[in-house]
Structure 1
């Protein structure tokens, strides 16, 4: 049997499609990070406490997580081009709404709408490439597209810091407009409107249960330290979220058309990977929000310098890519994830040793090491989680993993913001640095729980 080479270059007729999907991926990746360094300035402009601005990040990430299950069904039912076009229009208009917002409430509303558009951009774009581009060119196409996802986080914090100093915070959203308009124009040139002939009925009741579960738990944690809400309100939201999770678990077991069937979790490796992903990402995903806030609010750094200080983390992530596979082949998934999970937790907690007087070179080295460890953690977990799924479960399993990744980011940011506020009350505003340090120690300790989860990986799990 002749085997086609797996690394053929992308042919010219498909390059415009790859460019289009890269635009969407870049916009989504950029928007996840560009806001972080601008939060203190945004808070000042909107007359809000900087420590209460985590809701701006949570609103976006949570709406992305909630709407990921819609992406595949919408594309099959209404066509790939129509769905992608709609998502990029929604994202672009919502970005304009964010830029024109005059209050935190208005900004949160448009961030939710922006997240709905962002949730569809990457999954539908990836699906379009999968259906249009020949399989032998797909890996090369994905590699090209992934560069856009790396560039976004690389320039996002610095660009956000520079924009709020050189202009106003509104420009961190306005820069999406030209990219969005370009994407809207290219969509009709590059993307065919492929539909599926037979589309299953959408599991609307399951979708509502998932949304209630995610929103209840995330907002419950976020509101925990809010002076405007009682403790009972926050606990009530969390309980509603947990009850909805329980009901969905039963729904997934009994409903033939469930978005995510319970049979997914009969695969032990997948189940361990999903639970491990959720807990491991709480700390790692919270740091891109927490560190810029600490550098500005506690240490007095400018937004631009803060953004520049985030670059070593992304560079560490890039440096780690070539060594991940050899490490897993040499030591196996279990040993790599056990050791690396503890190293990530130690690295997060050790950030509590830094102060405003820490030398810049040492701080940059610290962030660089965290970037290496965090990237090694995420890639190893994702590969482990998906590697044994049957072909019939690959799409559903990948969508559920994507949803869990975004949900964990949402809860991680909400938890970090809540802990900082609670520790600020405990120590007093004069000891704001101690509040950030205590939060970092707590986030690092969460990785001890994750190590216990990865302990259950079978010793001789094949690569």
Structure 2
């Protein structure tokens, strides 16, 4: 097996652990609340604290990787995440559990972008699409498998094992990273933007806390508005700061690169719509169709099979059609399948439902692979770590927005219809349609890309372009 594929698999396993843990706790909140003698609603803090920790610390991950070495930070991230998992399993109070989740988030914040950076710096550009296709599976598989696995462990074992199962995975990950991953780093690193870190951290934390409380009855409306307002204020202050800073934490100048800008802006719109699926789909199957968590998880899990099939076909598809066509067509198809989920009814044949989920999972994964590759197509090696941090923050925010907007759409449709049952199948139909329109709007961004965008990433075109590159070097 090529070395870059070994690196991709090691990083993918670590990312699966991180993505799985982001959602595995959701079905276990009532059991945890009972054990800790807390109101189940207050256990939402465990979800929010993890997301906030991710958003705050991701921007500093690129600087840390360049300063101390990507492999060193990646191993440290796995260690911190594993220690946070142990602390979560040992927690006996809500504040203790929330604090442990913050530690987990710190490890996850370093693990995701640094793992991707390791791959980017270890793989030839012609092999980038194939390598990155392995990283889309954890992002799709974790949120789908998490609720099912969490419910199974809580029912048949104990909720603390949700966190303790990360320990052997973390130990193996550290050993494999030490044995097979090279410690790539930049020869020189830029200074940490402390002011930018404070502005972005406070802004992202306030914004995500505000979005997490919106529409869920967790906090009064004025508190939610204040949090979102403070978040917007700090993020605006960061924008002004970044324009003057020599080495900004999140380099806004990267948005001048067309492929990066299209992937970040269009990709964020696409992910907001798709990000609602882990929230809306299980809720519809359980609350509207009357399925239990295991039945629901068994159906939704099939989407990950479609994602796995994609990783063997992404390269040939992109070589044949090019990034621009694939991004546009798969965004349209994915939005269409997302809208179709709202047409499911309790009498829909199980095989039909699973087939739609399987094909939808394939196209979503193909879109994610394309986005994750083309975002770095024109980025200079010296700016790669900053690009990874920027793109990772955008992904985290868009997926968080997907849950918040999806919940808001469902509640808004319920209030507009005036029905007594907020989980009526009709409400889900319009909520899925609304989120499909959000994902579909990403096409407007992809249409602006040139026809040959990202052509250097496909092996065939890269080989054809090589003599031209060599000639350009000779001319200089």
Q: TM-score range by the shorter chain?
A: 0.7 to 0.9
Q: Measure the CA separation in 2 of the matches of 1:313 and 1:461.
A: 29
The TM-score normalised by the length of structure 1 is 0.81
Is residue 195 of structure 2 the alignment partner of residue 205 of structure 1? yes
- Please state how far the C-alpha of 1:446 moved relative to its aligned partner: 0.9
- Tell me, yes or no, if structure 1 residue 430 matches structure 2 residue 421: yes
| Distance across 2 between alignment mates of 1:329 and 1:195 | 30
- Distance in 1 between the 2:179 and 2:213 partners? 45
Q: 1:369–1:9: structure 2 CA closer, same or farther, 3 Å change rule?
A: closer
Greater displacement, 65-74 / 184-193 = 184-193
Paired with 2:453 and 2:148, the residues of 1 have a C-alpha distance of 41
- In angstroms, what is the RMSD of aligned CA positions? 3.9
Of residues 414, 431, 443, the one that matches 1:439 is 431
| Aligned length, in residue pairs | 451
Cα distance in 2 for partners of 1:228, 1:217 equals 15
Q: Does 1:393 align with 2:380?
A: no
Preserved contact between residue 71 and residue 181 of structure 2 (Cα < 8 Å):
yes
Structure 2 partner of 1:305: 295
Alpha-carbon distance in 2 for matches of 1:97, 1:414 = 28
CA contact (8 A) 1:61 1:409 kept: no
Please tell me whether the aligned partners of residues 90 and 160 of structure 2 are also in contact (alpha carbons under 8 angstroms). yes
Cα distance change of structure 1 residues 98 and 166 upon mapping to structure 2, 3 Å threshold: same
Q: Matches of residues 347-362 of structure 1 in structure 2 within 5 Å?
A: 347-362=337-352
CA distance in 2, matches of 1:237, 1:448: 29
Could you tell me which residue of structure 2 aligns to residue 121 of structure 1?
A: 111
Distance 1:334 1:10, change over 3 A: closer
Structure 2 gaps of 5+ residues are 456-476
Aligned counterpart for 1:346 among listed residues 324, 329, 336: 336
Shift of 1:72: 3.0
Give 1:169 deviation, angstroms: 3.1
Normalising by structure 2, we get a TM-score of 0.79
Aligned with 1:60 (options 37, 50, 62): 50
Checking the alignment, whether the CA contact within 8 Å between 1:158 and 1:310 is kept in structure 2 is no
Give structure 1 stretches of 5+ with no counterpart.
Answer: 1-7
The whole-number CA distance in structure 1 between the counterparts of 2:273 and 2:46 is: 18
In 1: Cα distance, 2:164 partner to 2:198 partner = 32
Q: Within the alignment, does 1:10 sit opposite 2:25 as a pair?
A: no
Cα distance, 1:38 vs. partner? 4.7
Matches of 2:18 and 2:183, distance apart in 1: 22
1:282 Cα shift? 0.7
Please give the alpha-carbon distance, in whole angstroms, between the structure 1 residues aligned to 2:373 and 2:74.
Answer: 27
Q: State the 1:462 CA deviation.
A: 5.9
**Inter-partner Cα distance in structure 2 for 1:109 and 1:461:** 44
The question of whether the paired residues in 1 share the 8 Å contact of 2:374 and 2:454 is answered with: no
User: Given the superposition, is the C-alpha separation of residues 369 and 187 from structure 1 closer, same or farther in structure 2, using an over 3 Å criterion?
Assistant: closer
- Change beyond 3 A, Cα 1:109–1:429: farther
Counterparts of 1:369-384 in structure 2, within 5 Å, are 369-384=359-374
Counterpart in the other structure of 1:282: 272
Contact 1:63–1:115 (CA under 8 A) maintained in structure 2: yes
> Is the 2:54–2:108 Cα contact (8 Å) retained in structure 1?
yes
Moved more, 251-260 or 26-35: 26-35
Q: CA deviation at 1:306?
A: 2.1
> Equivalences for 1:89-238 in 2 at 5 Å?
89-101=79-91, 107-125=97-115, 146=135, 149=138, 153=142, 156-183=146-173, 198-227=188-217, 229-238=219-228
Whether the aligned pair in 2 keeps the contact of 1:62 and 1:410 (CA below 8 Å) is: no
* CA 1:207–1:179: 2 relative to 1, 3 Å: same
Listed one character per residue, the Cα deviations across residues 38-64 of structure 1 (whole Å, up to 9, x for unaligned) are: 5676678777568x9776545434422
